[in-house]
Amino acid sequence: MKKYILIILFFFAFRAQSTEQVEYVSVKGSVTSPPVETLVDYPCLEECLELTMYTESEIPFSDDIPDTLSPQEFTYAGYPRTTLMGTAALKKTSIKKTPFYVLTGTYAAAITALHIYQVNTIWDSTSSFRFIEDGNYGLYVDKLGHFWGGYLNAYILSEFLMGSGLSHEAATNWGAAMSFTYQAYVEILDGFGTNWGFSPSDMISNIAGIGFFLGQHYWPFLQNFTPKGNYFPPSWFGSNSRQASSSFIDDYSGYTFMLSANIHNLLPNSIASYWPKWLNLGIGYTARNLIFKNGDRKYLLGLDITPAMVLPDGPPFWNWIKQSLNYILLPLPTIEFSDKEGPKFNLFYPFRITIGNVHF
């Protein structure tokens, strides 16, 4: 009897010691916390799952601990994100040379091609540098274009930088900084254009778009509101190009912009389940048949979707493409309000379908 009593006392002493000391557990190389208090109840558990118990002083803070964001940490409006390369987003920068050279080279080539195009269109003649405050030029559609352009450029740059090995936070900050640099470069060259000038309100719109991109990173609630835009040649939907436009870049009659709201996330939990996660509502603005400061203003209320939730999964690059489509305004059901006409419903805005006497 004394023998059994000693065994029982030894068992509880060992259990108490284990519970007190074991603060971290490594499961096949991944360190986790809190302590596992019941290991001694299952003699084979340590061996079967390759568990290693550590005290706080022994925990191996080294490369053995993954330095990546978990899927729960890397999201947009609560939906899992993916990187351009399909790898996990990093917490700490670790440059990958080959992706870095490929992605920076791709972006540099795209910017160079765009510069050449602009030099031969909107900057085809130059003068001395000047400031021009164009204010309501294009009935403010161009200001929304600058906001969306600064935002979208920051997103693309940050994605390229993440794919090159920068941490999520570093890529976000550097992407925003590089977008600001590029937008400022465009405004400066506008300042030398014969038909243009450096527009302070354009630059403010650029900064606002970049600031909103940064705000979404540091205040995730803002991710429930996504700026979107698109361009279609106005002749495709029965409208006229902006008078004196030199390219699609300044043909603001063909642009449409919308701020899309994630209704599911904004609803109270008690009723959120009744609203599809992928379906959003947006308010938008555009102007058609523009002639400098004159044109037809259009105010929009439309449905919108989150493409990543609707389109099927596939290879990493495809998953990144469908994620990035979230910043493009797709032709979807929209009600158009105008100063000159009554409300119009378009099934695939801005296109209008006619069947007999029915227009939608």
| Domain contains 76 | no
DSSP string, 71-117: TTTSEETTEEP--TTSSPPBSS----HHHHHHHHHHHHHHHHHHHHH
Q: Is residue 318 part of a domain?
A: yes
H or E element at residue 146: helix 141-163
Residue 276 falls inside a structural domain: yes
In a domain, 79, yes or no: no
**264 and 339 together in one domain:** yes
Tokens of 8: 């029982």
**Cα 186 from Cα 175, distance rounded (Å):** 17
Domain of residue 31: give its range: 2-54
Is 100 in the same domain as 48?
A: no
pLDDT of residue 269: 93
Please state, in angstroms and rounded to a whole number, the distance separating the CA atoms of residues 277 and 21: 45
Which of 273, 239, 269 has the alpha carbon at shortest distance from 254?
239
Whether residue 28 lies inside any domain: the answer is: yes
At residue 348, the pLDDT reads 96
**Distance of alpha carbon 331 from alpha carbon 282, whole angstroms:** 12
Amino acid 340: pLDDT: 85
CA distances from 46 to 40, 51, 65 (A): 9, 5, 19
Q: Identify whether residues 20 and 132 lie together within a single domain.
A: no
Q: Are residues 125 and 12 in the same domain?
A: no
Does residue 78 belong to any structural domain of this protein? Answer: no
Q: Give the integer Cα–Cα distance in Å for 285 and 138.
A: 12
Please count the structural domains in the chain. 2
**144 found inside a domain:** yes
Q: Mapping DSSP to helix (H, G, I), strand (E, B) and coil, where does residue 37 land?
A: coil
Single pTM value for the model: 0.81
For residues 49 and 129, membership in a common domain is answered with no
Dihedral, CA of residue 297, residue 303, residue 309 and residue 315, to nearest 10: -40
Residues 9 and 128 occupy one common structural domain? no
Walk along the chain (360 residues) in steps of 10 and give the mean pLDDT of each run: 44 42 41 43 43 43 64 94 92 91 91 90 86 84 96 97 95 97 93 88 96 98 98 94 86 96 96 96 96 91 97 95 97 94 94 83
Token reading at 140:
């403010």
Both 13 and 129 in one domain: the answer is: no
Residues 219 and 318 in one domain: yes
Q: Is 71 domain-assigned?
A: no
Q: Is 356 exposed, middle or buried (0-12, 13-18, 19+ CB in 10 A)?
A: exposed
108 lies in the same domain as 28 = no
Tokens linked to 25: 């557990």
Tokens of 248: 């699609």
One domain for residues 259 and 118: yes
**Alpha-carbon torsion, ordered 322, 324, 327, 328, to 10 deg:** -50
